[in-house]
C-alpha cells in the first residue's frame, strides 16, 4: 500500500512564498508521475503541475515562472515551491502519485494567500 503524506501550506501574504511537500511511503516516487492539484470552494479540482520520473515537469500557464516542482530521492519526496503567490492561488492542494494501474492521493493541505 502506498501512502502520500503532505506537509507545508498555511497563510501567506500576496507576493510571499510557501513550499509544499509530498512524501511517498511504499514506493519509489521517481518510478511514477507525481501531480499537484488544487481545489477552491465551488470550483472543480484543477491540475497545477506534474513531474514525471523525477525529471520532466509541466505547469499550467497561470503558475509558470512562479511554481517549481522538484524531487528528492533521499527523502522520497516531491516538493512544490510556490513563489509570488496571488490570492487566486488560494485553495486546498493535493498531491497525486500514479504508476500503471496504481493511483494514490495525499490528504490535502490548505494554502491561503491573503493580506
CA-to-CA distance for 54 and 17, rounded, in angstroms?
Answer: 22
Per residue in 15-64, pLDDT tens?
A: 999 999 999 999 999 999 999 999 998 999 999 999 998 789 999 999 99
Q: Which of 64, 54, 18, 5 is nearest to 34 (CA)?
A: 54
Query: What confidence tens digit (pLDDT) does each residue in 65-105 have?
Result: 999 999 999 999 999 999 999 999 999 999 999 999 999 99
How far apart are alpha carbons 70 and 29 in whole angstroms?
11
- Checking if the pLDDT of 13 tops 90, the result is yes
Amino acid at each position: 500500500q502506498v501512502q502520500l503524506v503532505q506537509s507545508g501550506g498555511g497563510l501567506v501574504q500576496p507576493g510571499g512564498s510557501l513550499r509544499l511537500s509530498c512524501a511517498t511511503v511504499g514506493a519509489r516516487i521517481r518510478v511514477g508521475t507525481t501531480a499537484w492539484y488544487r481545489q477552491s470552494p465551488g470550483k472543480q479540482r484543477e491540475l497545477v503541475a506534474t513531474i514525471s520520473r523525477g525529471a520532466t515537469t509541466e505547469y499550467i500557464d497561470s503558475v509558470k515562472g512562479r511554481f517549481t516542482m522538484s524531487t528528492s530521492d533521499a527523502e522520497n519526496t516531491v516538493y512544490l515551491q510556490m513563489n509570488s503567490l496571488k490570492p487566486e492561488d488560494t485553495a486546498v492542494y493535493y498531491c497525486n502519485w500514479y504508476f500503471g494501474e496504481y493511483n494514490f492521493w495525499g490528504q490535502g493541505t490548505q494554502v491561503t494567500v491573503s493580506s
